[in-house]
Amino acid sequence: MAATVSAYLFVFLALFGMVASDPDLLQDLCVANKAAGIKVNGFPCKDEANVTEADFFFSGLANPGVINNSVGSVVTGANVEKIPGLNTLGVSLARIDYQPGGLNPPHTHPRATEIIFALDGELDVGFITTSNKLISKSIKKGDIFVFPKGLVHFQKNNGEKPASVLAGFNSQLPGTQSIAATLFTSTPPVPDNVLTKAFQIGTKEVDKIKNKLAPKKS
């Protein structure tokens, strides 16, 4: 299993390295210096004399993530925030785990195309085009599916067993906007009269949705 995952990791990185969405790098490496306090498009570079192998390593995708939410899925990212060496390289990964019946709710990645490889289980996946056409398919272990950059997409485990996928992105930090959470839990909030008009529902329904989607207090 480990050898299979390693092989697909290599394919993902090779593919997205050739078609990176982020700007091209201008030097061999630019390890992110997140403590610099400087705002740039990406992160400023760490002094190369201080770069180590740890800047290019992450073991957080080896095991399933702990699922503790109402939608029944969890995303574990392996992007520049976890791997500083990805800065300016235009690639990243994520692992998504699903309980039986679990959903990765409709969302977008504004800065990247996504390609997933099913590690285990069976999933119904799909995306919606700007002409409002749903492109969907049921996938199983070993299958690959692609979600074009910026389009709303989802994955749903309709099986009786847990499922998991490995996702590749052509961005060091693809960004994620969950449609429901973005509209109903933003700060400051989207005005109720916008939501009631857009969804053709009443204020009471808006309040119910906001209460259900509000982050749980620890």
Instruction: Show binding-site residues for oxalate.
Output: 104, 109, 114
Q: Which residues are annotated as a binding site?
A: 104, 107, 109, 114, 153
Whether the CB-CB separation of 95 and 67 falls below 8 Å is answered with: no
For residue 163, the 8-state DSSP code is: E
Whether the CB-CB separation of 98 and 123 falls below 8 Å is answered with: yes
Burial of 60 (0-12, 13-18, 19+ CB in 10 A): middle
As a whole number of angstroms, the distance between CA 76 and CA 13 comes to: 17
Q: Give the three-class secondary structure for 10.
A: helix
Nearest residue to 195 via CA among 184, 186, 208, 182: 184
Q: Give the three-class secondary structure for 143.
A: coil
Q: Which residues are annotated as a binding site for Mn(2+)?
A: 107, 109, 114, 153
| Cα-Cα end-to-end distance for the chain | 36
As a whole number of angstroms, the distance between CA 4 and CA 109 comes to: 26
As a 3-state breakdown, the chain gives helix, strand, coil percent values, each rounded to 5, of 25, 30, 50
The CA distances from residue 62 to 131, 155, 157, 165, in Å, are 38, 21, 20, 12
